[in-house]
Structure 1
């Protein structure tokens, strides 16, 4: 009978700074976070002590805990809280995600220096040397019987679309090479040089096509290339994915594929069975599954204790009142908020216009869980509504550019089977993208979504009712993600940058409120969405 062995790989991705199982909007416990994932990891390690543990990126940004650490507590209580957790759990390697760059290279390099594990990214290289900018392109691990181990090679790659979103100062000196081509180049090199028994690609990116049909699931920009990697690159056994926050455990073209959601809601598990044939271990079977965090999973108290001091400071900071609202600035329905001008979005655009010193602004309701502001505003309210550390950019646009941007925004809506207004499914699956619907101030406009795509802007004027001429130029403020063309706003790419505002939006909002004490819920109703001319 031939000798057999099993290799188990556990995967986290898109943790986004969530360690405690906390809903930071309400301070209630939820089924998420690295501390609960830790309990699942320990449970698996009791069965397979030599398993591999990997993180697939977007770990250091995204929660009030990590925001507080960066802004108010850095270098006070030791290393970054997520890195402290990954060190404690003895991760074997991590891959940088796009949000790792949000606080700049100095911060990221400091985080890398605190890590007791390698960072892998073959496609992010130093512009001058061409060498990987973060550690190694890949590692080789030997597991199982020390006399006859299984040799596992792990290649790390990151979506190369980052320059389309990130502040250029945060990625200065880096080159982001095409992820698919990077995998295509490195896999045969690793196969030839290392002769691994198992080759794993950990890719901070997702799937551009429907996994069952192969039909395009999004505009093929290159942001996500997981499907092409599985179909076009021979020699891959396992593909770890992320970025889209999906729950996937599949087989594509013989490749075991995993994607474990976000915020520590699930732990990815890949089990590979081997059989010894001659001198080599051969893969006999591969299975991908998700270990979902539910009410039965308790948080690891030791991991909680590791960052308890910082969590206490964070909660105290979040509960600080910074101002109040006169009137109603609450959002009862995000869907309704996107159909006509709303006091909260009017406020957001007003903050942007004041910070940038311009009279036209566009902004999005970033999260469908945003509820605007109640009567008393705390830092918790600000962070819940502005969870990304976006900065502001002023672009010089023509009237034609603005019209094109509004047409892109109008794609968000479709007409349902019953004639009702509905959200375009492309903004919901495979990844929710409500943040790609913009609302404008400083102009008047009307979108008729009963009309075909590209013909929905039926009114567009300045505030005095004068039509915006195509060739007339305007200075417009927006966040840096949008200014780079993020969200398929191609008309913004390459436009002249008039000004950049270095402070992130949460800081700008908090300071605006502190200076005034009380803000007024006001609305000039400068825009609306209609169906066949009727609201």
Structure 2
């Protein structure tokens, strides 16, 4: 009996000790196991009024697409949000301009109280904040003010300051927009409890808006450097209690080799070094980060999606990707600290898998009226063309889709020159805006001008000239024309004339197709065996290099000007406000501008098409605009003793195949397999 009681007591004590120890262990674990929060950040950027999954430049029966449109991205937003307990959604800007729907709304006009269709769509998706992009200023500050009033979420921008005549009673030196906001976000932590995380958002725009939209912004705003502005405001945000700071720069990656460049257009890499920034959701350059495109960027971790250790994402353009950053926050010393991060861009479509996102019916319904109105708007007739205008060959030979723009610009400017300039020859600088995008996404493989011969509508003019730039003329010398073209020739990689290995001609990495200016009114050749004189920013790379050869101007009497005589001769160049005031190419900048005109280049193009198309009483036309390229430029034939294998990429369609076969100036051979993005690859004979 005694032994039995003793055993029971021993067992009871052992159990009690065990329970006590377990309880202590649990308490200790609870005390030492820190509270964590998983926070997901989602981003759209560079939508450019592409709300619908519809290409307004194509006939209605082929216009539906699975590759673009917020209507598709919205489904990814909902799916990504449903995967987690805590998420926020931001937009980076370049929102109200860039598609025919944006054109339609600008033509229709906005008054206070109207809601722009981009906001009708976005207001259904729960955005926390929007940032101002550079194209928000294209239609002027009054239009922008009316548009922003339709958003049911706040807007930020920290580096645009009022100069004069600003809204909301702002005075000189004040921020035109709210520089940053701090959102008190209720979240669910790792224990299932509610917490509050204060998320600070700060936005930026390239300082170059003062050049690109000079006519809308001169004497009204000033713009500060992105990085210096961040260094000013981020400590203030921390002092006001921001637990997490999310920078939303409408700015590309930029240079990691010259981080001190002030007023840089693309400053994200340097911005990631500003202390206190936890995540960067960027845009502007229409690329995808993280991706293999940026594998060689210093301190970029493509697997984690970081720049200098800071989570960063850029979601392409037109809604083709959704940006996503996952942050793990941990409570340390009564403060939230980011202990882990992961970024990715989720596509709505890939070549391998096809569509990855369904249409979002709520967005479809929100813009149904404007969608139909846009289709009517772009189908207004303006004339007729005698030949196809496709841009499949625009990077390898003179091209009708660029030629017709040059012809229109020359005629428009020539008719408006003041008497003191009327005797100067008028040239035109035009670039292909749709010629394979940036060769970075599957959708780029279909980004080409495709305007067939026959009746033309406003949609065709908008396809030929994508942006709402205005016409500007500059006075330059022949020497500046030569250097202008030297910078343009950065479009091409240097070709080794002694190599039999495959060599790719087009420089997709550091030169955009919209910077590949063809100057009409002169003739010239490009020697791609030579190094570039200038880099993609028109900074001198090789001062003694010369790619532009045989540059010649022939006047109306047949007199030819070359060499020193041409270099000293004066010309007028018809261009656009973006190029004219950019100051990047030789002969550009305010000092060279002699004529600023109110009409857009697209309007000048439409007027030219109409003037060349003579209607008849039968409802047809007795004459048509002729866009045939005049072949004023070519490559210099390469003198070599080996079999060169020079290649370039273009569209991979039956229409492209036929056009290329019928119109090629040099021998072009299509290779059997497209590249990884779906582009056709051609060999071009530069030796004959």
Q: TM-score, normalised by structure 2?
A: 0.71
Which structure has more relative contact order (CA 8 Å, sep 6+)? It is: 1
Q: What does 1:279-318 align with in structure 2 at a 5 Å threshold? A: 279-294=334-349, 295-318=355-378
**Distance across 2 between alignment mates of 1:144 and 1:443:** 64
Task: Give the match's secondary structure for 2:609.
Answer: helix
**Distance across 1 between alignment mates of 2:69 and 2:627:** 35
The structural deviation recorded for 1:81 is: 0.9
The structural deviation recorded for 1:19 is: 0.8
Task: Give the match's secondary structure for 1:459.
Answer: strand
Is contact 1:120–1:134 with CA below 8 Å preserved after alignment? yes
- Is 2:579 aligned against 1:482? yes
**Distance across 1 between alignment mates of 2:196 and 2:493:** 56
Give the structure 2 partner of residue 465 of structure 1: 560
- Is 2:187 aligned against 1:187? no
**Partner residue of 2:330 out of 269, 275, 299:** 275
Distance 1:263 1:55, change over 3 A: same
The structural deviation recorded for 1:276 is: 2.4
**Partner residue of 1:244 out of 285, 292, 297:** 285
Is contact 2:210–2:222 with CA below 8 Å preserved after alignment? no
**Distance across 2 between alignment mates of 1:344 and 1:196:** 51
Is contact 2:73–2:319 with CA below 8 Å preserved after alignment? yes
Deviations 1:131-176 (A, max 9, x none): 1112333333333269741111111112222223223334541111
- Is 2:316 aligned against 1:261? yes
Is contact 1:411–1:424 with CA below 8 Å preserved after alignment? no
**Partner residue of 1:433 out of 507, 512, 515:** 512
The structural deviation recorded for 1:372 is: 4.7
The structural deviation recorded for 1:237 is: 0.8
| Greater C-alpha Rg | 2
Deviations 1:348-374 (A, max 9, x none): 111001111262111111110123542
Distance 1:513 1:49, change over 3 A: farther
The structural deviation recorded for 1:123 is: 0.6
- Is 2:264 aligned against 1:197? no
The structural deviation recorded for 1:376 is: 2.9
Give the structure 2 partner of residue 207 of structure 1: 253
The structural deviation recorded for 1:260 is: 0.8
The structural deviation recorded for 1:39 is: 1.6
**Distance across 2 between alignment mates of 1:162 and 1:61:** 14
Moved more, 357-366 or 346-355: 357-366
**Distance across 1 between alignment mates of 2:608 and 2:469:** 16
Distance 1:140 1:247, change over 3 A: same
**Distance across 2 between alignment mates of 1:373 and 1:475:** 31
Give the structure 1 partner of residue 394 of structure 2: 334
The structural deviation recorded for 1:530 is: 1.4
Deviations 1:378-417 (A, max 9, x none): 3222222211111111111122211211211222223445
Task: Give the match's secondary structure for 2:123.
Answer: helix
The structural deviation recorded for 1:328 is: 4.6
Deviations 1:267-292 (A, max 9, x none): 11122222223422232322212232
Is contact 1:331–1:372 with CA below 8 Å preserved after alignment? no
Q: May I ask how many residue pairs the two structures share in their alignment?
A: 521
Give the structure 1 partner of residue 78 of structure 2: 42
Give the structure 2 partner of residue 361 of structure 1: 428
The structural deviation recorded for 1:205 is: 0.4
**Partner residue of 2:589 out of 493, 512, 515:** 493
Give the structure 2 partner of residue 380 of structure 1: 459
The structural deviation recorded for 1:101 is: 1.0
Give the structure 2 partner of residue 513 of structure 1: 609
**Partner residue of 1:90 out of 107, 115, 126:** 126
Is contact 1:14–1:264 with CA below 8 Å preserved after alignment? yes
Is contact 2:225–2:263 with CA below 8 Å preserved after alignment? no
The structural deviation recorded for 1:448 is: 2.4
- Is 2:48 aligned against 1:16? yes
Distance 1:185 1:325, change over 3 A: same
Q: TM-score, normalised by structure 1?
A: 0.90
**Distance across 2 between alignment mates of 1:240 and 1:118:** 17
Distance 1:96 1:347, change over 3 A: same
Deviations 1:465-514 (A, max 9, x none): 1234433322211111111236x414412333211121112222122222
**Distance across 2 between alignment mates of 1:116 and 1:409:** 43
Give the structure 1 partner of residue 680 of structure 2: none
**Distance across 2 between alignment mates of 1:224 and 1:239:** 13
Give the structure 2 partner of residue 350 of structure 1: 407
The structural deviation recorded for 1:523 is: 4.2
**Distance across 1 between alignment mates of 2:160 and 2:573:** 32
**Distance across 2 between alignment mates of 1:20 and 1:350:** 33
Give the structure 1 partner of residue 649 of structure 2: none
Computed over aligned residues only, the root mean square deviation of the Cα atoms, in angstroms, reads 2.6
**Distance across 2 between alignment mates of 1:261 and 1:121:** 21
Distance 1:280 1:343, change over 3 A: closer
**Distance across 2 between alignment mates of 1:365 and 1:220:** 30
Give the structure 2 partner of residue 119 of structure 1: 155
**Partner residue of 1:32 out of 62, 68, 71:** 68
The structural deviation recorded for 1:436 is: 0.6
**Distance across 1 between alignment mates of 2:151 and 2:310:** 30
**Distance across 2 between alignment mates of 1:92 and 1:313:** 29
Task: Give the match's secondary structure for 1:324.
Answer: strand
Deviations 1:78-109 (A, max 9, x none): 41111222222231111111111111111111
Give the structure 1 partner of residue 671 of structure 2: none
Distance 1:444 1:296, change over 3 A: closer
The structural deviation recorded for 1:265 is: 1.0
- Is 2:466 aligned against 1:404? no
